[in-house]
Structure 1
Amino acid sequence: MLFYLAKMMIGRIHLSLLVALVHGLVIAAALTHTDDFVSLEALRNTWMDVPPNWSGADPCGHSWSGISCSGNRVVSITLASFNLSGQLSSDIARLSELQTLDLSYNKGMTGPLPAAIGNLKKLSSLILVGCGFSGPIPPSIGSLQQLVYLSLNSNNFIGEIPSSIGNLSNLYWLDLADNKLSGTIPVSNGSTPGLDMLLQTKHFHFGRNQLSGEIPTQLFSSSMTLIHLLLENNQLSGSIPSTLGLVQTLEAVRLDRNSLSGPVPQNLNNLTSIQELFLANNQLSGPLPNLTGMNSLNYVDMSNNSFDATNVPPWFSSLQSLTSLIMENTHIRGQLPVSMFSPFQLQTVSLKNNRINGTLNIGSIYSSQLKVIDLQNNLVDAFTQRAGYSVQIILVDNPICTEGGTENYCTFLYQSNSSYSTPAENCTPLPCDADKLSSPTCKCAYPYTGTLSFRAPSFSNFGNSSVFASLEKKLMDTFRSRSLPVDSVSLNNPTKDIDSYLVLNLQVFPSGQDYFNYTGISGVGFMLSNQTFKPPHGFGPFYFIGNNYPYFAGLTSASHKSSRTGVFIGAAVCGIVLLLLLLLAGLYALCQRKRAETATKKSDPFASWDPNAKSGGVPQLKGTKSFSFGELKRCTDNFSDMNDVGSGGYGKVYRGILSNGQVVAIKRAQQGSSQGGLEFKTEIELLSRVHHKNVVSLVGFCFDHGEQMLVYEFIANGTLKDSLSGRSGIRLDWVRRLRIALGAAKGLQYLHDLANPPIIHRDIKSNNILLDERLNAKVADFGLSKLMGDPEKGHVTTQVKGTMGYLDPEYYMTQQLTDKSDVYSFGVLLLELLTSRSPIERGKYIVMEVKEAMDKSKDLYNLQEILDPIVASSTAPKSVEKFVDLALMCVQELGVNRPSMSEVVKGIENVMELAGLNPNVESVSTSSSYGGTSKGSEHPYSNESLFASTVAYSPTSVVEENDRVQRD
């Protein structure tokens, strides 16, 4: 039958047309080089969720999404935000003509980089930003002599920086920030290369790692053309080398949040091109650096060092380009001259915790941009006020206020002005369906979203709309110059994180239709990952972390039809081969159909979700991996008792090992649990949005075979409650308790300040703080969490839920949930760290106990009987007292009187410094260093760990439920 169909087709098609078509098919069939196809085929079989048009044997001829070719050779792979998962196999080495490899923003891309990557001799751009790659960086990268861009930031790489990178003489951009790299900074030594050889490199971005040792003197020379040196938030020690002053091309230097000591080199002011200088939070000593002549300097922060006491230096008034002068706790004394407030760009002056005295007079010709003068905890005894000034003055804890002052500058603290959001362009925003958002041009569409982080901004006034408008214009100009299908961009929620990065949420809206296709996302993602976009002056070096884009359009039916027509024509011409081709095509189509069905199921694992059930509507996820029931069954040995590591009202937790070797904790709901469904939905929706080292990571989920399972990273040492109660056998000394408090606070601060939208946890307690193998704290259990509502209201009106003893009384009375409700719960947690007692024990409430027993005139505030003996015997009693003060600030009756979590983080850092600790250095000890007498806990997840009881409150239930808690 098929043979006669072929014969009929041949009779109906003009011979010349057939010859032309067959000729074209033969050329197309041979278009892609064999090695390149074999390599891409291997990658396609290794990776999950590849684009749907990655099919056939001709990637170049059929224009596979993200693949660019020159002739028949693959020269570029740009797959940013394509939702890929898997590992980068050594098959990549077959692509011998490859020049660009960009897999950024695919968090599912994990595992080590293969050493074979060093065989890609023509590679000029290796960009793997914001993925999940781990293991050491292979030294073979030093073989990539053509490399210009090397961006491996925001992964999980460990080990030392390979010295072989020093061989990359063409390198322009070197970004290894935000990993877990350790060891010293490599420099050349005889036959061994080092980073000092990178004379043409403009960017050294190594911040947020664990680098240690001294900054090598040999690293810098006058031959270097370096403009950005970013080493913030590491563990570097020793002095700042004087050779730094030789690199006169430098524009941004960040050495803050390390353990650097000794005097600052006197030749630092040779660096007259520097615009941003961060030396804060070190142990620097000697005279305060003289920055006279650094006339390009916009932003300077030398806070929290041990400089010699000095009078207000003259350069405070001479640097006319300054926008931000941050010199907290730097032992400065004397009266501030009026002239220091006159530089026309000045926005922020923060001189907290110094010895500034006399009269504060900002004069009548102060900068029109000046927003904040923060002189908390100084010796100012008078203030010359002027009518109509708009500057926010803060003189709390100065004599002018402590002697009974009630003026505004004595009673309120700094209010953030970061409220920018892109306005609509002379149109009325539309109400949009589903996940669509209204763009600045008032069109409903599915935007591509992510976070822009600027590592060294030169300004501190984040409420200046014109500044962000210029950034938006520059973004749009760059998109248009690249002919990308972008209609508009939106920026919102500018914030300053704990490392003084400016963080902005970015939304990029498509043009011509309401979604991006794969080509559009590839272009937009690549423009932001490879630094094609150059931000306006003042924003400094940036990086972008894109979110997965789940709204891709499928291939058109016309392209499939064209492909089928070509197959039939080719079959007709080939005569007898038709039968074989059609049979193969049928088998191929059947396989493709099954593959498509599998892909559809993976892309929509909630097809069977019942939105009418108590668990609510279908979960809305941000690129979280879906596991099949079979996968989790295999990795737990059929949910064997041996892998059972805990149980509770929700279900059980099992230890599992995934196929990639990752150890995970699998939280399996009891079948038919309606309350479990709601928590399941809430937890995967929220945890799929958040990524922070102090928040437990959600690896994935399973909604298959009627099962509801959550797959987390495995946290080896269980809950903080287990350790405080002695069940885990881990002994927590005062130092470890402080580090745990800081880690938990940073995790909660991230949820409040950097998650988009902000998240209120609603159930902060010691059972929901997990401790990893190094006893680092991770916030867990988001089953009761809520997204922050209307930011203008600042609260969410909701039924009261939480855990007895930790519940915010204001929330209980008003039913209005705010981020300050979490602060209250965290304050109770701090008291629990101090006392090792449960919040309610034998009918006594720990908050009231501490308040009633306190006597600030006595040692340890007279709390020796309440404090845990380990805490009471601390060698730094002042730090214990300050910790008590901070805890009681958190549990103030009224939320408005409580600090924000960012202020709590700073408070704990100050306590740690009182205890002689560097808050920026993580402990290198493991839990075995804190071992005590084990209480026989068989597993790290006790019966209460991930499932600790919570209670929903009604006005009549508080007394009745005092000693009985149940799941809502």
Structure 2
Amino acid sequence: MELSPWLVFSLGFLAQALVILADTNAQDASGLNGIQDSWNKKPSNWRVGTDPCGDKWNGISCTTSRVTAIRLSSLGLSGSLSGDIQSLSELQTLDFSYNKDLGGPLPASIGSLSNLENLILVGCSFSGEIPKELGQLTKLRFLSLNSNKFSGSIPASLGRLSNLYWFDLADNKLSGGLPVFDGTNPGLDNLTNTKHFHFGVNQLSGTIPSQIFNSNMTLIHVLLDNNNFTGRIPPTLGLLNTLEVMRFDNNYQLTGPVPSNINNLTKLAELHLENNQLTGPLPDLTGMIALSFVDMSNNSFNASGVPSWFTTLPSLTSLYLENLRVTGQLPQALFSLPAVQTLVCRRLRGNRFNGTLTIGSDYSTQLQLIDLRDNQISQITVGGSQYNKQLILVGNPICSPGTGSSEKYCASPGQSNQAAPPPYSTPMNCSGLPPPCLSDQLVSPGCVCAVPYRGTLFFRSPSFSDLSNGSYWGQLETGIRAKFRSLSVPVDSVALHDPSVNSVNNLQLALEVFPSGKTQFSEQDISDIGFILSNQTYKPPSVFGPYYFLGQPYSFANVVLIPSKSKANNRLPLIVGASVGGAVLVAIVLALVTIVARRKKRPKQNEERSQSFVSWDMKSTSGSSVPQLRGARTFNFDELRKITSNFSEANDIGNGGYGKVYRGTLPSGQLVAVKRCQQGSLQGSLEFRTEIELLSRVHHKNVVSLVGFCLDQAEQILVYEYVPNGTLKESLTGKSGVRLDWRRRLRVLLGAAKGIAYLHELADPPIVHRDIKSSNVLLDERLNAKVSDFGLSKPLGEDGRGQVTTQVKGTMGYLDPEYYMTQQLTDKSDVYSFGVLMLEMATARKPLERGRYIVREMKVALDRTKDLYGLHDLLDPVLGSSPSALAGLEQYVDLALRCVEEAGADRPSMGEVVGEIERVLKMAGGPGPESASNSMSYASRTPRHPYGGDSPFDHSNSGLPSARVEPK
């Protein structure tokens, strides 16, 4: 059938109109459609519209028009992952966790996602080999492929992931050895920035190569448990002086002695060597003062006496030495260690503790279990009274018939008169009987019926063994609930129950999360909760150690199973015909209506002046269609053309992401800077309106003043006070001719900090700037700082929560990783950016340059034992290198590093920052900024673009700062 010319024209017009109107990049939209075509079940609103960013598809986050994150945990997705994923070239986060019916091979094309930083596929059913192409993802920070069905070997190419922080391949079917650098191919020993090696519960084999560990590594977790490794534990393990958790248990074939330098690991808290064939003397753990959990059971160590280190471990909670051949009398001091909870030293095949067991009256209040079955103990002394916790002595001479010993100590655990404590369960806070609930609902701890999100928490190496201690679980409940609430997830309460130790020695317990203000979570809520747990945003108390979570599918009333194509083949022509015809007709009508409506809202080109702000089609930052103006005046276009000499080149003082900036002189004689939006600007109508509304109601000497604006003849123009000495960035790079010594830099930073503190603490409502950087700090004629460029700013706390959920915006290098990962904006995001600015001021280096991130560079180079913290090579040479010229630098660096803590809660407020900088300035002998300027020197120059700055989406500095809260 030949299409009519009118229909051909309409379809072509429709295609162009949709491209113009869509908020999503066409390549990204196509890629998402290809992905969902490979799924049998998908998020409910992915079938609504064709514009993922504009239509706000669940789990999709966008920056401008590009898809930057997909987070779809526990949505019951089924099918496979299509190779169309490669179309999402700006993707930074991919999380499909807890979709157990999503599987098949992982497409090799995922290796083309050069911006990917977080790849999280926990608890799915992906199978086959891990693609070697993942080694191309050089920005990857977080790689979690645990609890899938991957097989084959660990690709050596993963050794190229030099930025990797979290590396979890546990609970798969991986085989082969651990790849190391062989002179040609990379290996895991290259991963010197990685903190976590989680490779347990696989089928890995061969010897553990000696070069897998070296002194340049920063590992805190090495989990190689439940594999098939053979040979010896390499002595290079003792070089990992950052190590906190080590699991080599349940390999069964590890042999030889434990390296004698193991006691170099003074930060080690959990040591698991059980169920192997280790020989030699019992390892000497003297000096390991952080050690809390030790299990060396079921090995073949040489017979020995009671080790002297038994009583020298102040943090010890749990000591397991089953089936060893240790002899001698247990020292009384062992039972008085302040933290000790469990002592298990059974004989079975060999322990021979003998003599009198003296517990004493000062035994630890934490001590819950002493299990000394099948030893040679003949007497017991408990300080004049009986030990009232669990003591098991069955199989010792003291329990032989006719000795008259207490049945309390001589009964087997199953025959003991002491009842075992019931498994923990979060108590309910009901004044009466719990209410009756529908079949799919449960009663929450707050006594409300709702449909909870459920799953299981697994702790791979907790530092305690007393599962009946409710204080641990109470801490966990409080922490999880607080984290969800702090990130604006609608959670009322959480419940924990049934803690137990599973077959691979992991502590597991059930978790239920209940919604707040409704009976059921939305799909977006579930994705948010899942992501907080899958990417380790929530950090449990340190006693719980490393964890992972497996969520159950959540039942949504509005999620419908989409039939596969094969199930509808008999009706396919009818469905396709009707759908396409209807969709084309509806789309054409909608496109035409939208275009007409938008045209009606545009100011006419020949209008001399806008009639009213009511005609604006922007979203107001304050919830009103009329901007809230306090003092800013309106200009018409002709006025501004006149004061800038028709926007002449002679008055051109800069060019930024928004447009050109011109110097102008008002009839009153006041100098102003006129920032004119140009076509294709990275800042649009919303940013224009935001800057007007916010700047018109803030007045502070360290915040640039808005004189007025123009919305006339289709122009968007902002008029500011003129600030003559350009941007702080220009001063640091030498472009402006302003020379800043150490004291002047401190004064500038103090002024900027005061301006930001005013926005956070005195503006009503508080304002988060969201783009603090050196190009957005201006310097006036006395080098006083003025914070500028409020196009990305957000009012905060209008709902009383002090935070807002929003798409991530900001400048790479200065961007807060917690905000980037969670999309939860707080005033601490500005604090992070200001901390980066502080480091930039001290070094005169770009925050992010050639893959080097100033925060990481500073932390690596820092040595607090040396003068100036050993940072001579990083500091700006202009400042000099003597401690006298840089008085207060150490305190300054400490403050900057506090500002760039990974978790916002660990950062100071801007008010605290102001106070600290004032103290450093006093140490440097400098007066306040108001008295500073007569002696300041300048070079002859014309200031450049003091208001333009860098675009917040300037990708010249490719890469982002650390996007993971570094969990233990």
Q: TM-score normalized by structure 2?
A: 0.55
Give the superposition deviation at 1:511. 1.2
- Gapped regions of structure 1 (runs ≥ 5): 1-21, 556-562, 576-968
Give the superposition deviation at 1:387. 2.5
DSSP 3-state at the match of 1:297: coil
Within-5 A mapping of 1:81-96: 81-96=74-89
C-alpha contact 1:237 1:260 (8 A) present in aligned 2: yes
User: Structure 1, residues 742-788: CA drift from partner, whole Å, max 9, x if none?
Assistant: xxxxxxxxxxxxxxxxxxxxxxxxxxxxxxxxxxxxxxxxxxxxxxx
Q: Bigger CA drift: 372-381 or 170-179?
A: 372-381
Give the superposition deviation at 1:26. 5.4
Within-5 A mapping of 1:691-770: none
Q: 1:396 to 1:564 in 2, by over 3 A?
A: farther
C-alpha contact 2:523 2:556 (8 A) present in aligned 1: no
Aligned residue in 1 for 2:427: 423
User: Structure 1, residues 188-215: CA drift from partner, whole Å, max 9, x if none?
Assistant: 1112000000001000000000111111
Aligned residue in 1 for 2:412: 412
Which letter does structure 2 place at the counterpart of 1:389? Answer: Y
364, 370, 373: which one pairs with 1:373?
Answer: 370
351, 358, 365: which one pairs with 2:355?
Answer: 358
Does 2:515 correspond to 1:515? no
Distance 1:121 1:420 in 2: 46
DSSP 3-state at the match of 1:229: strand
Does 2:176 correspond to 1:183? yes
Q: 1:388 to 1:379 in 2, by over 3 A?
A: closer
Which letter does structure 2 place at the counterpart of 1:173? Answer: W
Within-5 A mapping of 1:264-283: 264-283=258-277
DSSP 3-state at the match of 1:267: helix
198, 202, 207: which one pairs with 1:205?
Answer: 198
Which letter does structure 1 place at the counterpart of 2:411? Answer: T
C-alpha contact 2:41 2:79 (8 A) present in aligned 1: no
Which letter does structure 1 place at the counterpart of 2:329? Answer: Q
401, 407, 419: which one pairs with 1:403?
Answer: 401
313, 336, 339: which one pairs with 1:342?
Answer: 336
C-alpha contact 2:274 2:296 (8 A) present in aligned 1: yes
Q: 1:441 to 1:115 in 2, by over 3 A?
A: same
C-alpha contact 1:28 1:58 (8 A) present in aligned 2: no
Distance 1:449 1:573 in 2: 43
Which letter does structure 2 place at the counterpart of 1:143? Answer: Q
227, 230, 252: which one pairs with 1:237?
Answer: 230
Aligned residue in 2 for 1:437: 442
Which letter does structure 1 place at the counterpart of 2:426? Answer: T
Q: Bigger CA drift: 402-411 or 272-281?
A: 402-411
Within-5 A mapping of 1:243-254: 243-254=236-247
Give the superposition deviation at 1:441. 1.1
Distance 1:239 1:211 in 2: 15
Distance 1:350 1:159 in 2: 38
DSSP 3-state at the match of 1:307: coil
Aligned residue in 1 for 2:216: 223
Give the superposition deviation at 1:226. 0.2
Distance 1:246 1:520 in 2: 44
Provide the alpha-carbon RMSD of the alignment.
2.3
Q: 1:427 to 1:29 in 2, by over 3 A?
A: farther
Give the superposition deviation at 1:28. 7.2
DSSP 3-state at the match of 1:257: coil
Distance 1:322 1:396 in 2: 25
C-alpha contact 2:340 2:366 (8 A) present in aligned 1: yes
Distance 1:123 1:572 in 2: 39
Does 2:279 correspond to 1:288? no
DSSP 3-state at the match of 1:53: helix
Aligned residue in 1 for 2:165: 172
Distance 1:35 1:569 in 2: 22
Aligned residue in 1 for 2:301: 307
C-alpha contact 1:123 1:146 (8 A) present in aligned 2: yes
C-alpha contact 2:248 2:273 (8 A) present in aligned 1: yes
Does 2:155 correspond to 1:147? no
Give the superposition deviation at 1:490. 0.6
Q: 1:203 to 1:97 in 2, by over 3 A?
A: same
C-alpha contact 1:518 1:552 (8 A) present in aligned 2: no
Q: 1:573 to 1:195 in 2, by over 3 A?
A: closer
Distance 1:574 1:122 in 2: 35
Give the superposition deviation at 1:399. 1.4
Distance 1:159 1:470 in 2: 40
Within-5 A mapping of 1:585-596: none
DSSP 3-state at the match of 2:279: strand
Q: 1:283 to 1:41 in 2, by over 3 A?
A: same
Within-5 A mapping of 1:937-956: none
Q: 1:54 to 1:367 in 2, by over 3 A?
A: same
User: Structure 1, residues 320-346: CA drift from partner, whole Å, max 9, x if none?
Assistant: 110000011121111111111001111
Within-5 A mapping of 1:503-582: 503-553=508-558, 570=591
112, 117, 122: which one pairs with 2:115?
Answer: 122
DSSP 3-state at the match of 1:54: helix
Which letter does structure 2 place at the counterpart of 1:362? Answer: I
DSSP 3-state at the match of 2:475: helix
Distance 1:180 1:351 in 2: 34
Does 2:462 correspond to 1:457? yes
C-alpha contact 1:130 1:154 (8 A) present in aligned 2: yes
Q: 1:395 to 1:305 in 2, by over 3 A?
A: same
Distance 1:145 1:472 in 2: 37
Distance 1:529 1:53 in 2: 23
Distance 1:25 1:323 in 2: 68
Distance 1:298 1:567 in 2: 69
DSSP 3-state at the match of 1:306: coil
C-alpha contact 1:417 1:462 (8 A) present in aligned 2: no
Which letter does structure 1 place at the counterpart of 2:398? Answer: I
Does 2:372 correspond to 1:382? no
Identity of aligned residues (%): 54
Give the superposition deviation at 1:397. 1.3
Which letter does structure 2 place at the counterpart of 1:420? Answer: Y
490, 494, 502: which one pairs with 1:497?
Answer: 502
Give the superposition deviation at 1:433. 1.5
DSSP 3-state at the match of 1:174: strand
Give the superposition deviation at 1:111. 0.7
Aligned residue in 1 for 2:94: 101
Give the superposition deviation at 1:430. 2.3
Give the superposition deviation at 1:71. 1.2
Distance 2:118 2:41 in 1: 24
DSSP 3-state at the match of 1:286: coil
- Gapped regions of structure 2 (runs ≥ 5): 1-13, 561-583, 597-968
Give the superposition deviation at 1:551. 2.8
Q: 1:92 to 1:255 in 2, by over 3 A?
A: same
Give the superposition deviation at 1:520. 0.2
DSSP 3-state at the match of 2:544: coil
Does 2:24 correspond to 1:38? no
DSSP 3-state at the match of 2:262: helix
Distance 1:240 1:317 in 2: 26
DSSP 3-state at the match of 2:189: helix
Which letter does structure 1 place at the counterpart of 2:510? Answer: N
Aligned residue in 2 for 1:158: 151
C-alpha contact 1:160 1:183 (8 A) present in aligned 2: yes
Aligned residue in 2 for 1:486: 491
DSSP 3-state at the match of 2:542: coil
Give the superposition deviation at 1:222. 1.1
C-alpha contact 1:115 1:140 (8 A) present in aligned 2: yes
C-alpha contact 2:361 2:385 (8 A) present in aligned 1: no
User: Structure 1, residues 48-67: CA drift from partner, whole Å, max 9, x if none?
Assistant: 22112112211111011111
Query: Number of matched residues?
Result: 548
Asked which structure has the greater CA Rg, the reply is 2
Q: 1:23 to 1:286 in 2, by over 3 A?
A: closer
Give the superposition deviation at 1:500. 2.1
DSSP 3-state at the match of 1:93: helix
